[in-house]
Structure 1
């Protein structure tokens, strides 16, 4: 295989962008297990006290992720993240105002492989969410598994990430009943990552109603969000439904709670293979809010009606903006 090496004269700012994205990919893929290994390794060294003290801190601080987390605005606002934004680049598109007197449940679609658009737009401050939607604080959901890793749990909480179980997701909506909170959910979750192939628009939503019910229980308005380009930044080994590879991936996902897409893209010093995403634009479009009246015990019919309304609004959002982002006019969302 011929390797396409990067030229030596690549500008410094692009090298810095690559380094920042490399750090982000490493954090996503390897930092959690590395933190676990480090935690136990320190017990057998002269630095054992670090792990002991952290254990005490972990015991005291155990409930924090489930109680809204602990965002560090200074870290979210670092210029470092501007380089990640410009690498792709990532752009946030506003279609309507969000009243800070209301709370919101924002459904992010599609999940993609590593949710690059969601992190860049809703976890760090580089694409201008706070300026476009003043008075709204976002909390993005992440698998509870990652909050069981020592050190790593504190790292991801800095970006406003909280566990995706119902209790944790509901807490910000309960705490700030006067409004100003948006819970961001990558609705398709880990299973949808297995469908994240370039040129595909499969959305795992047809049977996903938990976030709809949560919005009704708390009277939080629903906001559909579609991220054009999310599936384009990585290639993935073909895994159609019914193949042995897809069967294996789904079984492992059921056991571990995380999916294992066999993805690849480019490297640091060459463009032929590696785990760095391609430099392809991601445009995340925030749709119009769907008004939701508080209903602590919705009936099945009420839940189904609002779920269908949400799917219709997401489809309309996609249709309204697809031409602006290079999607063929005959291409439509496929709800799975």
Structure 2
């Protein structure tokens, strides 16, 4: 404090002393250390994505409706007109932006957990792929960071492959949010969108489907290692119809990002939760992370637990326009076995015991 006062006094007296030079003489303890600033930036990066995903679409929808009741109605009308014209873009390859995918904010997002992407096999650019991502977790942090951004160097690790993370189609009906998602190469998880990417967009495309979906998020909790896959065969049938290879992907630590209140099966609240999940397309989970200012408090900031995503060996799939149920079952069984082998091979490296198994529900 004396140094600051001396600098200020020197400037007033015209001695030529500058506040900047005097501040440089302050002890380092006066300033926040670099590691703390870095951590704050990481928290901000993660928090902006959580708020964006949970609230941006609803807020922008309400704002657009409100603007029609104000003097800005003309701007709202212009945007709505453009929205109508652009309505089918998400299911026709979207509007990917390499610039947005490479934003520095995503490196802070990655380092908060941290998130890593591990390649086990090469992928040929002359083929198309369907990645099955497991588990869903609460907000799919690993899936978004690895496949919706370049923070983990997907394009360098898999040259010639263009990833498209598939998410709820309802997100693309919301103003502004739809454009934000498309800029990351994210697409609707519906037949038209995936058909386009695997049939009309050349080769070297990888569509990432979170197979367990919203139902799987209801089972998400730290230490859980179960996936909903037993009766999920639509992605296998589509792979056969398009001749796209199947690639199992498992993210260790995805379930550790939040703690969830898991309601008991058969209870009224569990039944209501499942009905809302089917009605809305997403599961209304009761979850919490840590607080923004105090790590031991509750909040929506996820826990900073490592997430490691392993991209497994591709399963070559022949193109069959009308695959039989037996053929779908065969390749589904191959996929399940490959996913289990992937889990067993890497589980002890990332927090699980040798005796742990992957439960397929």
Instruction: Quote the residue 2:244 is aligned against.
Output: 220
Once the two structures are superposed, the pairs formed by residues 219-298 of structure 1 within 5 Å of their partners are: 219-271=243-295, 272-298=297-323
Q: CA deviation at 1:55?
A: 1.1
Give the counterpart of 2:207 among 166, 170, 183: 183
> What SS class does the counterpart of residue 147 from structure 1 fall into?
helix
Instruction: Quote the residue 1:59 is aligned against.
Output: 84
Gaps of 5+ in 2: 1-31
Q: CA deviation at 1:176?
A: 3.0
Q: CA deviation at 1:8?
A: 10
Once residues 237 and 156 of structure 1 are traced to their aligned partners in structure 2, the CA distance between those partners, rounded to angstroms, is 29
Once residues 247 and 317 of structure 1 are traced to their aligned partners in structure 2, the CA distance between those partners, rounded to angstroms, is 33
Which shows bigger deviation, 71-80 or 116-125?
Answer: 71-80
Instruction: Quote the residue 2:125 is aligned against.
Output: 100
RMSD: 1.3
2:325 counterpart of 1:300:
yes
2:216 counterpart of 1:192:
yes
Larger radius of gyration: 2
Once the two structures are superposed, the pairs formed by residues 1-336 of structure 1 within 5 Å of their partners are: 11-177=36-202, 179-271=203-295, 272-336=297-361
After superposition, the C-alpha distances for 1:186-242 in whole angstroms (9 at most, x for unaligned) are 000111110101111110000000000110000000000000000011000122332
Work out whether residues 245 and 314 of structure 2, in 8 Å CA contact, stay in contact via their aligned partners in 1.
Answer: yes
Once residues 194 and 106 of structure 1 are traced to their aligned partners in structure 2, the CA distance between those partners, rounded to angstroms, is 22
**TM-score normalized with structure 1 length:** 0.96
Against the structure 1 CA distance between its residues 302 and 234, is the aligned structure 2 distance closer, same or farther, given a 3 Å change threshold?
same
> What SS class does the counterpart of residue 231 from structure 1 fall into?
helix
Work out whether residues 219 and 262 of structure 2, in 8 Å CA contact, stay in contact via their aligned partners in 1.
Answer: no
Q: CA deviation at 1:74?
A: 0.4
After superposing on structure 2, the runs of 4+ consecutive aligned residues of structure 1 that deviate more than 2 Å are 7-10, 240-245
> What SS class does the counterpart of residue 317 from structure 2 fall into?
coil
> What SS class does the counterpart of residue 290 from structure 2 fall into?
coil
**TM-score normalized with structure 2 length:** 0.89
Once residues 230 and 325 of structure 2 are traced to their aligned partners in structure 1, the CA distance between those partners, rounded to angstroms, is 15
Instruction: Quote the residue 1:4 is aligned against.
Output: none
Work out whether residues 218 and 262 of structure 2, in 8 Å CA contact, stay in contact via their aligned partners in 1.
Answer: no
Q: CA deviation at 1:184?
A: 0.3
Q: CA deviation at 1:246?
A: 1.8
Once residues 89 and 200 of structure 1 are traced to their aligned partners in structure 2, the CA distance between those partners, rounded to angstroms, is 19
Q: CA deviation at 1:80?
A: 1.0
Q: CA deviation at 1:9?
A: 9.6
After superposition, the C-alpha distances for 1:100-128 in whole angstroms (9 at most, x for unaligned) are 11000000000000000000000000001
Q: CA deviation at 1:167?
A: 1.2
Once residues 40 and 201 of structure 1 are traced to their aligned partners in structure 2, the CA distance between those partners, rounded to angstroms, is 43
> What SS class does the counterpart of residue 143 from structure 2 fall into?
helix
Q: CA deviation at 1:243?
A: 2.7
Q: CA deviation at 1:46?
A: 1.6
Gaps of 5+ in 1: 1-6
